[in-house]
Amino acid sequence: MRRVIGALLAAGLAASARAEGDAPATVADGKVVAIEYTLSLEDGKVVASNAGTEPLVLVQGRGEVFVGLERAIAGMAVGESKRGVLAPEEAYGKVDPALFVEVEASRIPEVDRHVGAQVFLRDESGARQVVRVYELRGDRIVVDLNHALAGNAISYQVRVISVGEPAR
């Protein structure tokens, strides 16, 4: 259903952009934008992509995507493509040393008590969070609460599919 709605929305946005005149619509704050994107690490490993599937539809300027990607698509025209690199702070963030936390080993399943294991822990509010085992210290374990891709520069390839006014 989401795929059908996304495709219909993108098709409607493309039609409305053409109806505005010969000049292609451009990405600006408040506009509904549909994009195709691929994000990858320095080694070329793709970490996220919607290429060949439904476009990602967002409202420019609302922070619905990485700040660096939002900045990159600003001013792009329908049909335009761009490649670039986002610094860690523009994507998944820098590694925050304060997010390395020591917990009792008993909170981690025994099978996962090894460096690199990814496990779910509940925070103070009860929400589940994915953490990585960073270091073993006897009856204590240091877990890394940073996003798994924090600290990485992210290469992007993006194409603007359509641009339209926000739905009212």
Domain limits, the chain: 2-88+153-164, 97-144
Topology of domain 2-88+153-164 in CATH is Chitinase A; domain 3 (3.10.50)
Nearest Cα residue to 162 out of 71, 36, 63, 51: 36
Task: Please count the other Cβ atoms lying within 10 Å of the Cβ belonging to residue 116.
Answer: 9
- Kindly report, residue by residue over 26-79, the tens digit of the pLDDT: 999 999 999 999 999 999 999 999 999 999 999 999 999 999 999 999 999 999
Name 116's Cβ contacts closer than 8 Å, sequence gap at least 6.
132, 133
- Provide, rounded to the nearest whole percent, the portion of the chain with pLDDT above 70: 86
- pLDDT for 24 equals 81
Topology of domain 97-144 in CATH is Thrombin, subunit H (2.40.10)
> Which of 60-74, 77-91, 123-137 is predicted with the least confidence, judged by mean pLDDT?
123-137
